[in-house]
Amino acid sequence: MWAYRAILSAGFLLFAATAAKADCTSASSPFDQVYCDIQVFHQADHQLNTDYADLAKMLKPAEKSSLRSAEISWIKDRNDQCTTTQDSYDFVAMDCAIDQTTARDDFVKARARECASTGCVDSELAKEHD
């Protein structure tokens, strides 16, 4: 687990230090592609966090608890699906992480629309995904 965190942390640090140098429209090397993927993932994750916070503001305490439990399960599932281990190293498939994060954000936005229009449905909030 520490290796996964180290890889992800190192990736974000590398991105922060070199994002301006990477041309994400035409990545010419694997390293450029990693920088680009991290940027896209960071944007998707930021959007998910923003939309999650907006949804949480609409919820009663019991509904927030259901949403939080589902989010924790979703994070574990995303990590399991998008991470592989080889020779004691953990690898994150960034395309998988981006797809999973974008899908979760779509789910969160759908719950917010539902809450705003017909009212929140606790059983829907408790789902990891549609």
pTM: 0.77
Annotate 32-90 with DSSP letters as a single string.
HHHHHHHHHHHHHHHHHHHHHHHHHHT--HHHHHHHHHHHHHHHHHHHHHHEEEETTEE
- CA 97, CA 4: separation in Å to the nearest integer? 13
Of 11, 39, 13, which Cα lies nearest the Cα of 25? Answer: 39
Helix axis angle, 94-117 to 61-82, nearest 10°? 160
Taking only the tens of pLDDT, the chain with its 130 residues reads 444 444 544 454 444 444 444 456 777 788 888 888 999 999 999 999 999 999 999 999 999 999 999 999 999 999 999 999 999 999 999 999 999 999 999 999 999 999 999 999 888 888 877 6
